Amino acid sequence: MQQYRMYIDGRWVESLSGEWFESSNPYTGLPWARIPRGNGADVDCAVAAAARALQDPAWRGLTASGRGELLRRLGDALADRADFLAGIEVRDNGKLYAEMRAQTHYLRQWYYYYGGLADKIEGAVIPTDKAGHFNYTRHEPVGVVAAIIPWNSPLLLASWKLAPALAAGNTVVFKPSEYTSASLLEFARIVERVGFPPGVLNVVTGFGAEVGAPLVEHPQVAKVAFTGSDQTGRQIYQAAARGMKRVTMELGGKSPNIVFADARQDNAVKGVISGIFAASGQTCVAGSRLLVQRAIHDEFVDKLLAFARHARLGDPMSPDTQVGPVTNLPQLEKILGYIDIARAEGADCLLGGGRPDTPGLEQGWFVEPTIFAGVHNRMRIAREEVFGPVLSIIPFEDEEEAVAIANDSPYGLAAGIWTEDLRRALTLPDRLEAGTVWVNTYRTMSYLTPFGGFKQSGLGKESGQDSLREYLKVKSVWLSTTEDVPDPFVIR
């Protein structure tokens, strides 16, 4: 068993209570690491360290170009350790090594990009209408940022927050998911070696109620950046509101993947598969509602089944595996529960529908790729996020009906459109209530492009230039350039 420590104020520490919990490998079902079980007292230490670091000349006095240089050095250091970090991610979350490796190798781009932006945070000189006055704006760091992340892509989602937060001059206290704490602790070692001053980045491990909640409520935390479920997101938003804190919320989705009769069907099949079975469906952007035009419904579903039926389940470390286990036991039970709900609602299970009986996979937390046809958009399986490899197929007649069904959801994270019709490809994205729309592709993302949901899928943007603004507050400064002070009783 590997034993980890938390990273607070530049030191590697046990929890103050001395308690631990275990982290398990989803492929074997066995614990492999011991993680400190933090609580409010550890949160207090971490937030105090982050607040001190904000005032520390070693951080506050660093020029914006200096911050950028540190971020770029972090990007270089991450690139050297990308394979190692990918292995840790897989051990904790069970996603394919091939996917986690691609992610950890891509991480550095966020640090290069925001490193480059750090010294381009510019205020404005306002051509004021008040004679004898000079007015300008400053963009200042918001302060201590609480960053709370889930288990599906820990280092990617941490970097979406950390890179812009540090570029803007903030300090950060992280709380990783209790299921996947190890990778962020390994990541913190790299941050330490690069030379960020103590307290600029802190990691407190533990459970949502014991670490996450006191962190959000801490009076010295100025902003909460959260990725996770919409239920937890709502709780955090309420707690943050009591302290008048800023928030960024990346929550769930029930994203429609819409296939029109004129689509290139073979491409659309691959897009639908990547949207729901890659990462065992454990992505917030999962294209979990497949909307298929009636004219091609049966033909398309046959093609989809032919492809999905052969998906290879297995060891996530093996390059031959296409579908790994799901990350944890409660999630496995939740997915199986939704499969039961779909059956009870009358949906027609065309593929999968349970745990595989493949020899060698008994210990792992596997769910078969599962496809339901005959789904109505009012069913729970079409409205609630499953976060697993479960696809619901809903037929539609024409474009109007496709838009109506797609938008009839509490969520608005992403949407996919498959069509060869140029007019439709250009006009339909405008009509879909989703923060990201993909046309003839799915799950494409970049550090350059803002990502974030509409409606119950969240608030604010991550990545791209929009994200930097989420970590800055604007101050307006007025200077009088006149010799005389005007009449004090009349405000002009």
CA distances from 417 to 24, 170, 436 (A): 38, 38, 11
Helix (H), strand (E) at residue 156: helix 154-167
- Closest by CA to 475, choosing from 219, 211, 139, is 139
392 interacts with ligand ADP by CB under 6 A: no
Going by their DSSP bridges, the two strands 6-8 and 454-455 should be labelled as: unpaired
Minimum CB distance to ligand ADP smaller for 43 or for 98: 43
Residue 199 contacts ligand ADP per CB under 6 A: no
Minimum CB separation of residue 457 from ligand ADP in Å reads: 13
Residue 329 sits in the site that holds ligand ADP (CB under 6 A): no
Q: Select from 27, 97, 151, 396 the one that contacts ligand ADP (CB under 6 A).
A: 151
Stretch that binds ligand ADP, among 95-103, 184-192, 232-240, 404-412 (CB under 6 A): 232-240
Out of 236, 258, 308, 379, which residue is the one contacting ligand ADP (CB under 6 A)?
236
Question: 477, 136 in Cβ contact below 8 A?
Answer: yes
- Does residue 209 bind ligand ADP (CB under 6 A)? yes
Q: Which residues contact 452 (CB under 8 A, 6 or more apart)?
A: 248, 250, 435, 458, 459, 460, 461, 462
CA–CA–CA angle 43, 45, 51 (5° rounding): 100
Q: Which stretch binds ligand ADP (CB under 6 A): 162-170, 205-213, 418-426, 446-454?
A: 205-213
321 binds ligand ADP (CB under 6 A): no
Q: Tokens representing 448?
A: 């350059």
The smaller minimum CB distance to ligand ADP, of residues 227 and 293, is found at 227
Catalytic residue (choose from 178, 217, 284, 433): 284
- Taking each helix axis from N to C end, the angle separating 82-93 and 97-106, rounded to the nearest 10 degrees, works out to 140
Among residues 24, 170, 232, 248, the one that binds ligand ADP under rule CB under 6 A: 232
Between 38 and 464, whose beta carbon lies closer to ligand ADP?
38
Binds ligand ADP by CB under 6 A, chosen from 26, 94, 141, 228: 228
Q: What gap in Å lies between CA 450 and CA 152, rounded to an integer? A: 20
Residue count at the site for ligand ADP (CB under 6 A)?
A: 18
* Residue 354 makes contact with ligand ADP by CB under 6 A: no
Using the contact rule CB under 6 A, the part of the chain among 10-18, 109-117, 144-152, 360-368 near ligand ADP is 144-152
Instruction: Compose the 155-184 pattern: x for residues touching ligand ADP by CB under 6 A, - for all others.
Output: --------------------x-xx------
Of the pair 62, 332, the CB lying nearest ligand ADP is at: 332
Q: How far is the CB of 239 from ligand ADP (least distance, A)?
A: 7
What is the separation, in whole angstroms, between the first and last Cα of the chain?
Answer: 70
| Catalytic one of 99, 178, 210, 250 | 250
User: What strands, in cross-sheet order, belong to the sheet with 472-480?
Assistant: 125-126, 133-141, 472-480
Question: How large is the angle between the packed helices 297-308 and 265-276, nearest 10 degrees?
Answer: 60
Indicate whether 229 belongs to the interface with ligand ADP (CB under 6 A): yes
Under the binding rule (CB under 6 A), the answer on residue 208 touching ligand ADP is yes
When the beta carbons of 20 and 207 are compared against ligand ADP, the nearer one is 207
| Min dist. Cβ of residue 149 to ligand ADP (A) | 6
Per-residue burial over 246-258, b = 16 or more CB atoms within 10 Å of its CB, e = otherwise: bbbbbbbbbbbbb
**Left, alpha or beta for 81 (phi > 0: left; psi -120 to 50: alpha)?**
alpha
Q: Identify which of residues 242 and 310 has a Cβ nearer to ligand ADP in the complex.
A: 242
Catalytic site includes residue 362 = no
Residue 133, token pair as written in the block: 């006055």
CA distance 285 to 279: 11
Q: Residue 284 catalytic?
A: yes
The rounded distance, in Å, linking the Cα atoms of 220 and 202 is 14
Q: Does 235 bind ligand ADP (CB under 6 A)?
A: yes
- CA neighbours closer than 13 Å in the CB half-sphere of residue 354: 5
Active-site positions read: 250, 284
The site for ligand ADP (CB under 6 A) is made up of 148-151, 175, 177-178, 207-209, 212-213, 216, 228-229, 232, 235-236
